[in-house]
Homo-oligomer: A and B are copies of this chain.
Amino acid sequence: MTNASICAIGDEILIGQIVDTNSSMIARSLEEIGIKVTRMLSIGDDRDEIIGNLEKELSVSEIVITTGGLGPTKDDITKAALAELSGSGGYVENPTQLGIIHEILHARGLDVLDINKAQALVPDTCEVIPNRLGTAPIMVFRFGGDRFGHPSTLYSLPGVPFEAEGALPDIIVDIREHYSLTSIFHKCVMVSGLAESALSKLIEPWEDSLPADMHLAYLPNQLTGVRLRLSVYGGEKAENERHIDERFAELEPILGDRVYSHSDDTLQNALGTLLRGTGMTLSAAESCTGGMISSLITSVPGASEYYLGSVTSYAVSVKANVLDVPPEYISRYGVVSSEVAGAMAIGVRRLTGSTYSVATTGLAGPGGDERNPVGTVWIGISGPNGTKTAKRVYKNDRKRNIERFTSAALDELRLFILEDLRKQR
């Protein structure tokens, strides 16, 4: 099995100012192609640390991936350290990256300064994979077996998470070309509305019946639910896929509509898949979720086909004046109530003329009382066949409660539309 080490470079990580999420993202991609990550490390912007640690990693792992330390400013010294480590005789300009640097800065209306141009210079010992999302190129250093006891490759990626993420597919292609890997076949289903522990309890007999060569992983996420992944090592792809599909099909009678996708997916995307091409439209009225439902729905490219818009009614006056929530509902039942959630959904559906609408009113925190503790949310859904409300109570901090509320609202909306579609058949 091919081994890899992942190394995040940056003083800001070591003082805890930022959490390194790149290493985890890279690890997931490597694991999917059957590479074993034996170690992750985070080190500072320090020449001796960079060279010493990378030499050590290169001598134990065939593949070393670094992130960070490639910015244009003086505190970033990774490139110089890699030049030294690889015995570079000098720097050469990469014309493709220089072009990208010009494009990016021009598009932002900025001048291309010397320090920007310098980012296109790379040690003459490396190959370059252009970074289309940022100014620092991705550098690939290949070492023969004489240097570290085995042939090894060092990939240097930028530290900005979306640039690192953008570079990853090219790195994976390069690794596949240069290493003979044991095949792994993975397939996922996305499950909503169940905590990891409840899901695990529910599917325990199924899990126990899985063959020994099939590995199950639970990958929970606040916003998208639990991703269940089955993996098989070696063998034929088509046969592996058939075996996994058969196993996932057995979940159907246990989980039903809780399975919302048979690939790595999000609830907002599943909603898009339901609505696209039907002519049906969507709107939202948000109180406690503050815009996050709308923000997620519009994160899907092409959402304008079915999404009309939303009202964030943070103030009671906006609930009453814009969404036509009857003021007596608020005084009689309180802002966090089934009645107000339903009226908000009905109000925004009427205002925008959408086919369906979703609304939230709740308490993300701080605050709360006996009747509505922090973490309480009422969700309202309205459509051509009526209006429904549902209450959920979570126990998290403000940020996580908002995420949970949002995810629950998207899921309730999805189930509501599914039920309507089923009736129509």
Contact = CB atoms under 8 A, between A and B. Distances in A.
A55 interface: no
A327 interface: no
B39 A41 contact: yes
Q: Which 6 A-B pairs have the closest CB atoms?
A: A290-B298, A291-B294, A16-B27, A16-B28, A291-B291, A107-B395
Interface string A219-257: 110100001010000000000000000000000000000
B312 A104 contact: no
Given A113-B197, A291-B295, A301 B366 contact: yes
A17 interface: yes
Query: How many copies of this chain does one complex carry?
Result: 2
- Looking at A40, A160, A229, which has the most chain B CB atoms within 10 Å of its CB? A40
Contact of A186 (B15, B307, B397): B15
A38 B50 CA distance: 11
Contacts of A108: 195, 393-395
Given A12-B229, A39-B41, 9 more contacts: A11-B217, A13-B24, A15-B27, A41-B42, A105-B197, A162-B397, A291-B312, A309-B312, A311-B312
A218 B107 contact: no
A12 B292 contact: no
Given A290-B294, A314-B298, A197 B304 contact: no
Nearest to A204: B115
A49 interface: yes
Nearest to A106: B395
A212 interface: no
B73 A196 contact: yes
Interface string A196-219: 111011000001000000011111
A397 B161 CA distance: 13
A327 B196 CA distance: 50
Contacts of A182: none
Interface string A145-167: 00000000000000010100010
A276 B40 CA distance: 44
